[in-house]
Amino acid sequence: MITLKQMDYALAVAKHLHFKKAAEECFISPSTLSNAITEMEKELGFQIFERNNKKVIVTNLGIEVLEKAQSIRMQMLDIKHLTEKQSEPLSHLISIGIIPTVSPYLLPIMLPKIKKEFPNLLLKIEEGQSHSLLNKVKNGDLDIAILALPYDLNGLISLKFWEEDFYWISHHQNKLAGKTQIRADQLEHSELLLLEDGHCLKDHILDACKISSNSKHILKASSLVTLIQLVKGNMGSTLVPKMALNQLLASHKDLSKSHLDEPGPHREIALIIRPTYTGIKNAELLQSLCKDVLTEHHF
């Protein structure tokens, strides 16, 4: 009889295509995982994986087995969440993924309110880029993701709770510094400092400014904090979302901000869930809570 544990192990191997990494994720030894997969394959009568010392390949029949295993895993998760519907709202473990251009600005104001209003809620939070978080929500590794839209959700559901515009940040010596409003066609695109590829904020900025994704930029960074430091060093200018302004500019009096005068909102923030997620009521409570705290802080 094939067990749920064996299916979880097989899905971990398929995810990493590496037995040792899969074993680490499952908190077992590589030999234990390998033996479990071998027993599963004996039960099936065919190999799920081809493996040698250098690589792991999923067989054609293995692909079909893993698709069914993933479906079973999702159904088991839904059954587990059904029991949570009988408990008080937001009183159990919820896993949330959040993108790095939102987490440093939302979490410091959201978490204290959650702790006060829902003291029994246990949160497991991880930061990651949009594509990674969406895959984890879809596969059941996360209950909820907090992303910026527009973004291709590939069948997942969005619960929007915020919308905002971008602000152009420049050194006070910049000839355009000090303007209340600035249009995209006034910016020197070649001097714009942007986040590296993979961050949806970069795509949202390019879209808001109608800049080609093939445009060349002098520097790219992995965080908004780094971008601000580069602007402070007078190495260019950048664009940041409104919710990040206060925190990013708090101690930088030599920097100037100007609202990007282009049709908005330039991005929307939303909770992302599976269509079958049985914790929809909890997600809606979190949606309302996030909206309230952002409104309270006058973002």
Q: What is the pLDDT of residue 189?
A: 80
Q: What is the pLDDT of residue 2?
A: 87
Cα 148 to chain centroid, rounded: 9
Residues lower than pLDDT 70 in the chain = 81-87, 214-218, 298-299
CA distances from 30 to 36, 141, 257 (A): 10, 21, 53
- pTM check: above 0.85: no
Q: What is the pLDDT of residue 98?
A: 98
Q: What is the pLDDT of residue 266?
A: 96
Q: What is the pLDDT of residue 231?
A: 94
* Residue-by-residue DSSP string for 125-181: EEE--HHHHHHHHHHTS-SEEEEEES---TT-EEEEEEEE-EEEEEETTSTTTT-SE
- What domains appear along the chain, each with residue ranges and CATH number? 4-84 (1.10.10.10), 93-152+276-296 (3.40.190.10), 166-260 (3.40.190.10)
Q: What is the pLDDT of residue 82?
A: 66
Q: What is the pLDDT of residue 197?
A: 84
